[in-house]
Amino acid sequence: MLKGENKTLWEKKLNRLFEKRTPEDVELLINLVSLSIYSRSNKDLGSLYTVLGTDDFSKVISLFSGRTISFPDREEFREALLVAVCYYYKELKGYEWTKIKEELPFAKDEINSIKIGKGIKKLNKEIKQQLFDLFLEDN
């Protein structure tokens, strides 16, 4: 079930458990895990498990074990994607705003060069900080 390198004894045991089962049994076990998560935490966590599946959900748990995270709403996520795409065209391709709007006709009304420009500036700052942090780790 968990492919690739086994990182823990628990993962090895889980792999052995699933390899001895029929696909129907595996699906039933996964549904039971989903129900168990739902009953312990909340509906959203159970839904996330259902969407990600066991392997990816295990990775998420490993990354965020015990911590609380919040997700952006749809509009915030859409804006972040738009900033990233505009960053690509503006900073990496060197396009002007008119050309960017031509490349993104579905979003041309949403592309406010001042607002998106601020997002690009903030993204540039974050990229530089992460590069700096990586540079410090290597030294």
Per-residue model confidence as pLDDT tens digits over 9-67: 766 776 776 677 777 776 767 666 666 655 555 677 778 877 887 778 888 888 888 88
Sequence-ordered list of residues with C-beta below 8 angstroms from that of 6, at least 6 positions apart, any chain? 12, 15
Q: pTM for the full model?
A: 0.59
Backbone Cα Rg of the chain: 22
Spatial separation of the C-alpha atoms in residues 64 and 58, rounded to whole Å: 10
